[in-house]
Amino acid sequence: MQKIVTIGGGSGQFALLSGLRDVEDIDISAIVSMVDSGGSTGRLRDELGTLPPGDILKCILALSPYQDAARNILQKRFEKDRRLKGHNAGNMLLTTLSRYTGSFPAGVQALAEILDTKGTILPVTIDKATLVAELTDGTRIYGESAIDVPRGQQRNKIKNVFMVPHHSETISVFPPVIDAISDADYIIIGPGDLFTSIIPNLIVSGLKEAIMNSSATLLYVLNIMTKYGETHQFAAKDFVTVLEEHTGSEINSIIYNTQKPDHELYAQYIKQKAEFIEIDMNNELRNTHRIFESDLLEASGGIIRHNSKKLAVLIQEIITH
């Protein structure tokens, strides 16, 4: 049985895990970013001092065989009660379980047990922290939701991101994360926003070192589009360079979507200053990295993202050959 570790957060990791859930003979450990600060998650963090439940909840749902039904229930937002209004049921349940059991990881494990999730879901850290972005003009932006700006808002490029701890001097990796990486056959990074979903995992003290000491094959699922305010005008090589700096390791292989979205949808993204990320036949990455490429596009609902099933098929081919 192949041991697969995924590193990410947000909707990208949800898409990846939704596909991997149905792959046979793999043991999945999902390492999840803990800096989400928007919406219901942000309110719970600020009002109750809890760790942010949102991205963890997405992973639990992704790996559950009851995903569709559970999403309908647990992502339903309260409307009638004044205090509950705007929260979703899953975040409230996960927060309640965490407080009752006495720890966030125990609450995660309990909800995962309820939904029969396949695999293990691990917060990258259980230390509370705020993500900070330093821009090229020296400006600092505090909080994941503020960094993850609405498309089209003008600002300088991100130079660096770091985390400010709330109640301790340092932010340390959750120990079971080290064990999962040490035992892994493959580590899959992405897809997801580079500076708000992926790197917040890699800058947690101890994670980079764990990856450097691991013998696992490192796979990177390259994003389909750039994102204004985060990766504006990034080429494929820029993504890989940033990741290799933060992992201290060479990315062994890149998983790349070849299919461009249709003209009408693409035009909507262009208006938001997003661009298709391409690795053409002359790209220097082809001389330095192994490229696994296929049509991985999902564009239903007017949103460009990876198709879970297509992504899982390609990954299964990679790990079985």
In CATH terms, 2-8+125-319 corresponds, of 3.40.640.10, 3.40.50.10680, 3.30.750.80, 3.20.20.70, to 3.40.50.10680
Please name which of 104, 105, 111 lies closest in space to residue 49, comparing C-alpha atoms. 104
Summarize the confidence of residues 196-207 as an average pLDDT. Answer: 96
25-35 confidence digits (pLDDT tens): 999 999 999 88
- 164 in helix, strand or coil? strand
Highest mean pLDDT among 66-75, 115-124, 225-234: 115-124
Q: How many CB atoms lie within 10 A of CB 247?
A: 22
At 118-135, the pLDDT tens digits run: 999 999 999 989 999 999
What are the boundaries of each domain within the chain? 2-8+125-319, 35-123
How high is the pLDDT of residue 151? Answer: 47
Length of the chain in terms of residues written: 321
Question: Using CA atoms, how far apart are residues 189 and 159, in angstroms rounded to an integer?
Answer: 21
**Cis amide leading into 191 (omega within 30):** yes
What is the C-alpha R_g of the chain?
Answer: 19
Location of structure tokens 């790209």: 283
